[in-house]
């Protein structure tokens, strides 16, 4: 499993309207990974998005200190079986998704995440319904807000 940016932001920020379902999913995913029942992978692009959003004063009036956000990521990565995957070699998959779905603009980042998920064989956990068109249902867990 791998969380999308919106799930990590919601899990991290107690004031987020989707905090409870996101945090419950993340806590359970960490336990499942620690018990060897599933993997939990943090994508580099997703971690970058978490840092960008939670420290951006135009998104949150009360931004999070960078140290706190990086400590949150580090705490997840210190859990057994939680992995970090950097960009890797996703260009062929990204190219295919962009062309097949005629992706442009803001969906390009989602297409990159979807391409990485497909290449890694993981399942994406998200609130974002745009992934319904980018990922097969077998690789998508759509949380309800």
pLDDT digits (tens, 9 = 90+) for 37-57: 999 999 888 998 899 899 998
Q: What confidence score (pLDDT) does residue 13 get?
A: 97
Tokens 């998508």 belong to 140
The residue range of the domain holding 23 is: 2-142
Backbone angles phi, psi at 47, to 5 degrees: -60, -40
CATH number at residue 121: 3.40.50.1010
75 in Cβ contact with 12 (< 8 Å) = no
- Does pLDDT of 89 surpass 80? no
**Total number of domains constituting the chain:** 1
139 and 124 Cβ atoms separated by less than 8 Å:
yes
Question: Residue 145: pLDDT band by 50, 70, 90 thresholds?
Answer: confident
**Angle at the Cα of 129 from the Cα atoms of 125 and 134, rounded to 5 degrees:** 80
Q: Tokens in use for 42?
A: 């943090």
């Amino acid at each position: 499993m791998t969380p999308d940016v919106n799930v990590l932001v919601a899990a991290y920020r107690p004031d987020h309207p989707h905090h409870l379902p996101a945090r419950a999913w993340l806590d359970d995913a960490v336990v499942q990974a620690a018990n060897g029942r599933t993997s939990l992978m943090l994508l580099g692009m997703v971690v970058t998005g978490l840092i960008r959003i939670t420290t951006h004063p135009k998104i949150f009036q009360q931004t999070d200190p960078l140290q706190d956000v990086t400590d949150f990521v580090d705490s997840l990565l210190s859990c057994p079986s939680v992995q970090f995957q950097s960009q890797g070699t996703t260009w062929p998959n990204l190219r295919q998704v962009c062309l097949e779905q005629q992706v442009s603009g803001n969906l390009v980042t989602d297409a990159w995440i979807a391409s990485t998920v497909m290449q890694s064989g993981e399942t994406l956990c998200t609130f974002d319904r745009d992934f319904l068109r980018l990922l097969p249902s077998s690789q998508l867990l759509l949380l309800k807000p």
